[in-house]
Structure 1
Amino acid sequence: MEVVRVPQSMPIVFALFFLLFQAREFSCCHDTERQSLLKFKRGITAGQLSSWVGKDCCLWPGVGCNNSTGHIIHLSLQNIGLEGPIPHQLRNLSNLRVLDLSSNSLLLLDNSRWLSRLASLQHLDLSYVSFARGVKWLQALILYQCIIPDHILPSLPHLNFTSLATLDLSYTYFNSTLPGWLLNLTSLEFLYLGGNYFSIPFPDAIENKVFLKEVDLSYNHFIYGDPSVRLEEHCQLQVLSLSWMNMTGDLNQFKGMFSGCIRESLRSLDLGGNQLNGSLPEWLGEFKNLESLLLFSNSFSVSQKAWEAFQALLTWFFEATLSMNNIEGPVPSSMCRMTNLLAVDLSRNHLSKELPNCWQDLTDLAVFDMSSNNLTGVLPSTVYLGSNEFTGGIPSSIGHGLPHLKILILRSNRFHGHIPPQLSNLSSLQILDLSHNSFIGTIPPTFGNFSSIRISPKSLGKIVDVGSYKETILLVTKNQENFYDKLLSIMTTLDLSDNNLSGQIPEQITSLLGLWNLNLSGNHLTGEITHKFSQLIELESLDLSRNQLSGSIPPALSNLTFLSHFNVSYNNLTGSIPSGNQLNTFTDPSAFMGNPFLCGFPLNNSCDKVVTDEPAYKNEIKTHNHDAIWLYISAVLGFVLGFWVVWGVLLFSEASRHSYFRVVDDFFDRVYVSVVLNFRLIKRKVWNIIENKVSLSCVVALCECLFCKTLSSSSSPEFDIVHYAPLL
């Protein structure tokens, strides 16, 4: 009988499976939520809940949990004989999506405030549940971004909304006229209807709602109401957003509407994204406590009187957004007195002349956008933004005195000179764009010290937390121009492209661990691409094209798992294109072209030839250079050594010196005697040959013979003139 042997590791495996199975009892249910259910159980009478025992509350009847997180998301207790007031401990089930307590007629709802804590709730069924007398039911109805069928809202009037204080139907994409019952809600304090397709008869939509504090009707279709209707009784209204409502005409026609005590209470007014025109009305300067004014994307112009009217708003003002209008002329110096100013956006207008140099006291300034105007002159010693005609250099003082500055865009101007390393002192800077200028020199190594880019952008929060300022900035990322708004909170950008920068890329830049976009293309940068770029784990776009970089592409770049745009074209890179992970996704050859000695996918040239020949050629050159260097070194050392061996001996030894010169003199004497004797011998023989009519060939042969014998005998120590006597 064959014996089946069980591997020794099998008992351990079974034990692990057993422990994991047992551990399930402790891992599926969160203890805090289990305790809330137990308190709920003790607070009511319900015999059917006697089965709620054990550690894993996800296995209890009527309880459903998320399989991944273990949080309770479903609680269905319909018709189980519950009795007593609903315990408020259910408010701790913050992940609850479905709550069904229906068909429990003895169950009493004595307070509805605990329902507001269930932020994830999608389905609530309290049918046949008793409501206590005087209970304030539905103080807040929040259906933000819920898809609501068109027939639902008109069917709600029969519900008791008399206590409703907050109504949020924003971005429900409801396509109809505003329901009539909504106009009759007189207790509302917060009304959010933005992002729908309502046909809103403003100002009728907010008339008679004297308790309103915040109103958002943006992104709807405006139905022109009666401009004579006044909002003077809205003495508590602080925030009013009427942006992107297709409002047309002159804003002056609304003067009567914005009269009375609303001019005392209003703190934020948003009329952006409409089609309003004419001169900016002077009566806007009568809003005593206005902190935020958004008039972007209209066709306003600003008269000198209007600028003067705005001076009444200067202490209190935190935000001025007038971008994308028809504002002409210079920027008034009076804006510099807005010492509380956090954000100014006058971009995409027709501003001209020079900027006033008076902004040094705006220490809280976070955004100052003057891009896309016709501003000229030299950049003052404070901060402004791009697409103008600025000239000169960036003053080094720009790195001091602006601790809250997060965005600095000087793109597309005429700046030149060196980039000041003091820019790295802007500790809050998150986006730096100096592209399309004429900067020279090297990239400052101090750029590795940007504090806000050295950390993950996920921890930075909102990039510009300034009232209702609309974060919309034009950035060049992944070789495309795009407007970014909400994504700005996770974006960190360093763009130095299209300048005249030279030298190597400083390794200190690889310390910017939170960098999202790095663009150094279109310069004269040299050296190799450091493998330390692999440390930039948040990087999504890396453009090093159109430079003079050499060496190979580091394989370590495959560790950049978020990298979606990569361009190293038109450099002097060599070797094979590395593969693996994210690098396998770059299939466009244009990202690598312009490097003659670069090979491999996605380029057409095979590495079998380029990689074999080119490194072999390099090795041969290295070997040749190595041998030549040692040959030169050996020759020099030999010459020096031989020179000093001979002349050193002659210099320091008198006996050697005398012997040496005797030998030299004797040598020259022998040579002299040999030459004289052979000359006489040749002369006598030639005459004898002539006399005896000897042929010329014999003379030549005789001369060669005599000359050879002369040389050989001159070096012999037995040299004796008698030896030549017979020839004489």
Structure 2
Amino acid sequence: MATNAHQHTQLSSLLCSDHRLLLLLALVCLCNAAGGSNSTWGHARGCIYSEKEALLQIKRGLSYDPANRLSSWIVDGSDCCGWNGVGCDNMKGHVIKLDLGSPQNNRSLGGVIGPSLLGISYLAYLDLSNNDFKKKPIPEFMGSLSNLEYLNLSGANLQGRIPHHLGNLSRLQTLDLSKNYGDLSVGGDVRWASHLSSLQHLNLDSVDISSDGSSDKLLVALNMLPSLSRVNLKSCGLKSLPSFAHVNFTSLSFLDLSSNSIQSPFPEWLINITSLEHLDLGGNNFQGGIPSAIGSMSSLTELILSGNGRLDGKLQGNWSGLCKLQSLEMSSMNISGDVNDLERCFSGCIKNSLLSLDLTDNQLSGCFPSWLGEMKRLKHLSLASNSLQGSIPTSLGRLSSLEMLSLSFNNLNGSIPHSLGGLSMLTSLDLRSNYLQGTIPEIIGNLSSLQMLRLGNNSLSGGIPESLGSLSSLQKLDLADNHLSGPIPAKSLSNLSSLQELDLRYNYLGGSVSTAHFSNLKSLITGRVLDSLKHIASRFVNLQSNRLEGEIPEDIGEVMPSLSALVLSNNTLNGSIPRSLCKLLDLEVLDLSRNNFSGNIPNCWKYSSSYALEALHLEHNSLAGVIPSSLSSFSNLRSLKLNANSLSGEFPLSLRTCSNISTLDLGENKISGKIPVWLAESMPYLKVLRLRSNNFKGDIPSNLASLTHLQVIDLANNDLIGTIPCEFGNFTAMKFVHNINETTYWTTTPSSYYGDAIVVEMKGQMLEYQRLLSLIISIDLSNNRLSGSIPQDLADLVGLQNLNISGNMLSEHIMKNINELHWLESLDLSRNNFSGEIPALLSSMTSLSHLNLSFNNFSGRIPQGNQFNKFIDPSIYMGNPYLCGFPLDVPCEDGGKPEHNGNNYQGESEKHKNNNAVWMYVFTALGFILGFWTVCGTLIMHNRWRTMFFIFIDGKFDQLYVFVILLTRRLTRSSYTTCEEKVNNI
């Protein structure tokens, strides 16, 4: 005890004598205290038992965990602070972080968020993004997590209204509810947002805030939060913006209001937010002009105004003060005038700051501006889809930092300047769809960083330069639709080890593609030399419409296993279709149409049950045999065109499993049998059904009317019997007019290069539709043996443009409500047995431009006026013996039969017809009797007249006999003289 007391006395003496040591001890204590109070993401010495139990309850709620992300969450003695996604306080062991967010587009957790989350009361960080919570609402109890500073529920498949209880989270700094794609909504009461006093980052991308005036109210509420620095309200359904008397966004640096429907004038209060660095107003309907004061927003680094087509087309003021602006996007607006007049907006220090300038899809004209050559820091420049003229200036070669240059879809001419070959940083060069001439400069081969080269749709000539083979980074090469000629430089281009897409269609490239030549071309297509074929990178090859000849090598599928699209149509290729193509498991488009291929279609398409093929086009060849049964593997097939071959057999049962087909063309073959009833059941997405010019027999299946997407049905030139099904009036897609925005271009990988096309007989000629295919609505049942009448329900197909039922045995009258087909352009009823009068109602069909009623039994006067003023060709009405009036040379007696209007015109016409028939028979009989007895009765009663009559007949016979004898002799003498003259000439 004495010893301890002595030590204590010594320590006290030391502390009193050295105050510096006392101060040091105090600082240590303060640091320890601070460490205990601060929240840090660390590994604690052991988590709280109750919180561990809460975590296990959460795991039970997240029952779907295919990636086993929660495998470490187990009931044992392990420390829960070491579990995956869990973070704890350093000192006290409380769980303060729960990071269970999944990679985007890969929802690895699913289930429910249970109230057990409340057992983690110290939670400050919660990330549940990109999981699948099965369209459940955000739990209201989340508003009780009072320590929460970070909450991320983006892409979590949630729906319903955002609970106002979230307004209790006064410490919340980040709230991300984005990308639940319209299933989440704010609702009418948005006052909760104004209570988030610590909020700095708010992301409501794709949250619906359009109802009940919520958009204005929400922005007013957010204006009360001075700490806000980032706000994302993209795709939220905004229709207007409020006017602020006082803007309180003093810290706002990022604002995204893009992809809404805002129709207000440009919000000038935005200009007062001097802290804004990123402003995105793209994809709206802002009206009026862009205020000149926008040039005073000196903090801006990125400004996006693209997609506001209603903004006035003049840029006002001087933007030279935007000295920090790096990216300016103003595409798809209404900017007009001479592009050189924009120099005043881009003078000053903006020339030195701008890195990206996008003026795509405007109405700019004039020659290429010289002032662009002064923007030495530009990396991205796009003036595509304008009306620029003149040549491409050589000064562009001075933009040494340029990485992307797009001048496509303009009116530029001249040659490609050699100076572009000095842009060593260039990765994308797009000059397509202009009027460029001359050759492709060899110096293009110096662009070693180039990944995409598009020069298609110009007037370039000459050959493909060998130097392109040095572009080892090239992935996409488009030289289509030019005047290029000569052979494909396969040996040089085989070095393109990264090539994925090759488009050389519509040129004059020739040469054989036999095995010897194709060995190099295969390397070009695959993107690898032949000794590295296991690592093939190529995806898309289009050599359509050239002068290629010869056969496709049999091993093509083995040396190009990664191909997704092969288009060799419209060449002069021959031989058989290689069976090795069946091995291309990634093939999506195969088009060998319009060549000279012969033999059978390979029956080897069962290498994969999930075959990727979406389009198989083999039309216009000389293929024979039956359609192979292995086509049943094409579960993803959308377009099958085998028309214009010599295929035989019956309708292939193998197609029954191809349930996604939208275009089916088996026309112009020798296919026989009946049209199967299962067709409508197995192919519910059919838009085009073309079976014309085959040997189909039997009735037309009435259940075809259940095809709700069908727009074109062509069964012409077969041997079909029966009637036109009354159910045909139920074609859903034919009951409305389609718009130009609908498209048949697919959304798969090859879609940017490839689209469908179909041939329709319309207006008396064969017309091919490609870009406008989605607009065509047509029924062609011509040249069969159909009988009966036209179903009245066809008048419900108000979108119908073409109706051809000629060359059948149809009868009775034209349907009385045919004028309801307002959009009908072509009507062909010729070569049938229709009767009655031509309905005067046809004259009100203003879209009708082609009409054929020939060779029927129509009667009465041809209607006049309105649309009939266009149908003045007599051939339209020929072959109808009871028609009269203009344009026929058959006058109507007594002014012709009266024209009838209204609903009873058909009955009156029938009655009139019956009366005419009775009187015709009566007058014919009376005429015969009168004529017979007038002649014969006179001869019988008068002997002298009878003798003179027979003498007269006998004399005429003698004269005829003498005439024939003399004519025969004259012809014989003439023939003998001609032969004698020929002998003398010899």
**Under a length normalisation based on structure 2, what TM-score does the superposition of the two structures give?**
0.52
1:426 corresponds to which of 707, 710, 727? 707
Is residue 347 of structure 2 the alignment partner of residue 111 of structure 1? no
Matched position secondary structure for 2:698: strand
| 1:248, distance to aligned residue in structure 2 (A) | 2.2
| 1:522, distance to aligned residue in structure 2 (A) | 0.9
| 1:208, distance to aligned residue in structure 2 (A) | 2.8
Distance 1:255 1:157, change over 3 A: same
Residue type at the aligned position of 1:35: F
| Counterpart contact for 2:487–2:511, Cα < 8 Å | no
> What CA distance in whole angstroms lies between the structure 1 residues aligned with 2:420 and 2:676?
67
| 1:496, distance to aligned residue in structure 2 (A) | 0.5
2:616 corresponds to which of 336, 344, 347? 344
Counterpart in the other structure of 1:193: 455
Counterpart in the other structure of 1:127: 371
Counterpart in the other structure of 2:786: 501
Counterpart in the other structure of 1:435: 716
1:511 corresponds to which of 766, 781, 796? 796
> What CA distance in whole angstroms lies between the structure 1 residues aligned with 2:331 and 2:420?
31
Unpaired runs of 5+ residues, structure 2, are: 1-260, 276-285, 295-308, 382-401, 656-663, 900-907, 919-986
Percent of aligned pairs sharing the same letter: 31
Distance 1:224 1:320, change over 3 A: closer
| Counterpart contact for 1:364–1:403, Cα < 8 Å | no
Is residue 476 of structure 2 the alignment partner of residue 214 of structure 1? yes
> What CA distance in whole angstroms lies between the structure 1 residues aligned with 2:866 and 2:567?
46
Counterpart in the other structure of 1:671: none
> What CA distance in whole angstroms lies between the structure 2 residues aligned with 1:463 and 1:325?
24
Q: Deviations over 1:180-208 (max 9, x none)?
A: 45443333333222222212543636323
Q: Which has the higher contact order (CA 8 A, sep 6+)?
A: 1
Distance 1:422 1:360, change over 3 A: farther
Counterpart in the other structure of 2:882: 597
Unpaired runs of 5+ residues, structure 1, are: 1-29, 45-54, 64-68, 626-728
Q: Which region of structure 1 is more displaced relative to structure 2, 399-408 or 595-604?
A: 595-604
- Structure with max Cα Rg: 1
RMSD: 3.9
| 1:217, distance to aligned residue in structure 2 (A) | 1.0
Matched position secondary structure for 1:255: helix
| Counterpart contact for 1:516–1:539, Cα < 8 Å | yes
Counterpart in the other structure of 1:329: 599
| 1:70, distance to aligned residue in structure 2 (A) | 6.1
| Counterpart contact for 1:116–1:140, Cα < 8 Å | no
Distance 1:426 1:268, change over 3 A: farther
> What CA distance in whole angstroms lies between the structure 1 residues aligned with 2:488 and 2:675?
51
1:177 corresponds to which of 439, 447, 454? 439
Distance 1:358 1:515, change over 3 A: farther
Counterpart in the other structure of 1:35: 266
Q: Deviations over 1:535-593 (max 9, x none)?
A: 33332211111111223333333443332212122222234434454443222222222
1:291 corresponds to which of 564, 589, 593? 564
Structure 2 matches for 1:86-485, cutoff 5 A?
91=330, 94-98=333-337, 99=339, 100-103=341-344, 105-109=347-351, 110-116=353-359, 118-122=361-365, 125=369, 127=371, 131=375, 133=377, 135-137=379-381, 139-150=403-414, 153-154=416-417, 157=419, 161-199=423-461, 201-202=463-464, 204=466, 206-220=468-482, 221-224=484-487, 226-235=489-498, 237-251=499-513, 252=515, 253-259=517-523, 261-262=527-528, 264-285=536-557, 286-303=559-576, 306-307=578-579, 309-313=580-584, 315-335=585-605, 339-381=611-653, 382=655, 385-458=666-739, 461-463=742-744, 465=746, 467=750, 468-485=753-770
Matched position secondary structure for 1:549: strand
> What CA distance in whole angstroms lies between the structure 1 residues aligned with 2:360 and 2:350?
19
> What CA distance in whole angstroms lies between the structure 2 residues aligned with 1:352 and 1:42?
73
Matched position secondary structure for 2:354: coil
> What CA distance in whole angstroms lies between the structure 1 residues aligned with 2:273 and 2:897?
80
Counterpart in the other structure of 2:278: none
Distance 1:59 1:94, change over 3 A: closer
Matched position secondary structure for 2:566: strand
> What CA distance in whole angstroms lies between the structure 1 residues aligned with 2:360 and 2:913?
76
> What CA distance in whole angstroms lies between the structure 1 residues aligned with 2:331 and 2:271?
11
> What CA distance in whole angstroms lies between the structure 1 residues aligned with 2:466 and 2:420?
22
Q: Deviations over 1:43-63 (max 9, x none)?
A: 89xxxxxxxxxx994699999
Q: Deviations over 1:439-498 (max 9, x none)?
A: 111011222233333332326722352634453433321111233332323222211001
> What CA distance in whole angstroms lies between the structure 1 residues aligned with 2:910 and 2:505?
68
Give the number of equivalent residue pairs: 574
Q: Deviations over 1:102-144 (max 9, x none)?
A: 1564241433535155555445747289647475556544333
Distance 1:617 1:337, change over 3 A: closer
Q: Which region of structure 1 is more displaced relative to structure 2, 195-204 or 475-484?
A: 195-204
Distance 1:303 1:477, change over 3 A: closer
Is residue 312 of structure 2 the alignment partner of residue 72 of structure 1? yes
> What CA distance in whole angstroms lies between the structure 2 residues aligned with 1:167 and 1:501?
58
> What CA distance in whole angstroms lies between the structure 2 residues aligned with 1:535 and 1:549?
20
Matched position secondary structure for 1:229: helix
| 1:40, distance to aligned residue in structure 2 (A) | 7.7
> What CA distance in whole angstroms lies between the structure 2 residues aligned with 1:321 and 1:201?
25
Distance 1:218 1:503, change over 3 A: same
Distance 1:358 1:607, change over 3 A: farther
> What CA distance in whole angstroms lies between the structure 1 residues aligned with 2:789 and 2:266?
61
| Counterpart contact for 2:744–2:755, Cα < 8 Å | no
Matched position secondary structure for 1:334: coil
Q: Deviations over 1:352-372 (max 9, x none)?
A: 122234444534322222222
